[in-house]
Chains A and B, each alone.
Chain A
């Protein structure tokens, strides 16, 4: 059996008395994240007694367990088995989620700044931002917030010096070399360039988030009229 290049480098560690982490790499990398998501799915499917939650991140999988229901040494053994037997063949299956975004104006109060900062037109920023397909590595920070990779460095822009007290839900922003969407209203220091009318977090849906790890995201520029039309449909 041929072993994958990462196989020799994984590490499993107990974290506190109710969690175990599997570290599968040490950088933000699509291939490592593919392994993370594959391993996480396998663990969930195995329904190991006492495991309460599996949380995939950039390059690790966290497993929460109930020490009253499971012996951690046994869980560790099972996890080793799973990691060792996991083969990732090519790219993992993904969905592409189209996210309509109304750029600029009241929805993107920092769009002009971003354009000026890079000496380009507003249209250029929109074009550069909506052209790539982004990858969702993980969810965290707030419900439904997707850590995405793939922003074109030409529009990378530093955060605001003073964060806004209230950023509306759906706001699309840039912070350094990251781009992201605020799923719920919260304080925040990202440069806001637009807003999507889609609900990224809805506790009444299952799953409660629009985006899932491994998803590809494509931003579709829309005008402000269309924004309100979709917003109304989302509210239904």
Chain B
């Protein structure tokens, strides 16, 4: 069990989401940045879907009431019993140890993974917090959270610097246009694909509101007959300003969707802070799938490396430096 001594700004328990219930109006929820959360889980020997603590901007202060391994995922100064330790590295905490954190130096969301995962009762197949439906809650001082015991500590304890996620506050994000592109003029779509937008402070786990050049609607206007809202949907209401729908989005919505952010770029969007800059670039579905496949290949190689089944190293070929994974192929 761990105890929250100070929750930070906004901390919740999340896994990779409550999938399968959107037809009942139940939002998916789950971590905002799946890559950071999955990497943190890998390092403590968890299933990638294990529940973690997600924190916004500033991490919680935690007291351990049990022996457990943990990893903090994020660009942040952390201390265990006032001794500085590093993120993306596994540590063993003993009963009575206290973990503290400063503000994130970059990015908006950080993660704490515990070996065995956060072991609360799943609701509708997930441990993700979903505040609107009163499933789970915002973490508060005094909360005591059970930690599981089912894990297998891997060999590698720290993620090499060059494999750690980098968070930028100025990003180019790839989108697939539509499905409601006919609700926008040619000019409107041009504006959307050529302008820099700024993330406003009216942004949360549900959606990120952007400010910038107004996107012109066609004569069909901003409203559609209410239909479903996939992750990363970019809705443009009557004011012409885009909203990117994220983890806690409603399952359905009535605003025209000009495009959808591709899955590999969701973490980039999620890690923007208010004031951050964003520009959209059109790609095809095939490109999006290729990018996803490539990302998943790298993540699975990282996992193999963490478990000692692959080596990550630098080589020089024709005077050029390469970082490569070496995997043993057995007959």
Contacts and interface: CB of A to CB of B under 8 A. Distances in A.
Interface of A: 13-19, 21, 26-28, 40, 52-60, 62, 64, 67-68, 72, 138-145, 147, 183-186, 201, 203-204, 207-209, 213
Nearest to A25: B225
Given A15-B176, A53-B20, 20 more contacts: A14-B178, A15-B260, A17-B176, A18-B263, A21-B179, A21-B228, A40-B23, A53-B19, A53-B23, A57-B225, A57-B227, A58-B226, A59-B225, A139-B25, A140-B250, A145-B25, A184-B132, A186-B132, A203-B133, A208-B24
Of the candidates A183, A184, A203, the one having the most CB atoms from chain B within 10 angstroms of its own CB is A203
Contacts of B285: 14, 17, 72
A45 to B, nearest CB: 14
Of the candidates A40, A57, A59, the one having the most CB atoms from chain B within 10 angstroms of its own CB is A57
A52 B226 contact: no
Contacts of B207: none
B292 interface: yes
A17 B292 contact: yes
B200 interface: no
A184 B130 CA distance: 12
Given A57-B227, A203-B124, A17 B20 contact: no
A143 B176 contact: no
B133 A143 contact: yes
Contacts, number: 140
A193 B263 CA distance: 43
B59 interface: no
B203 interface: no
Contacts of B227: 21, 57-60, 62
Contacts of A56: 23
B22 interface: yes
A77 to B, nearest CB: 15
Contacts of B228: 19, 21, 55, 57, 60, 62, 140
B292 A138 contact: no
Contact of A58 (B20, B225, B232, B262): B225
A208 B21 contact: yes
A184 B178 contact: no
A142 B263 contact: no
Contacts of B226: 57-58, 138, 140, 147
Interface in B287-331: 288-289, 292-293, 296
A27 B225 contact: yes
A203 B26 CA distance: 9
Contact of A18 (B25, B132, B231): B231
A144 B289 CA distance: 33
A207 B178 CA distance: 32
Contacts of A209: 24-25
**List of 6 A-B pairs having minimum Cβ-Cβ separation, nearest first:** A16-B260, A140-B252, A62-B228, A17-B288, A57-B227, A139-B25
Contacts of A55: 22-23, 228, 251-252
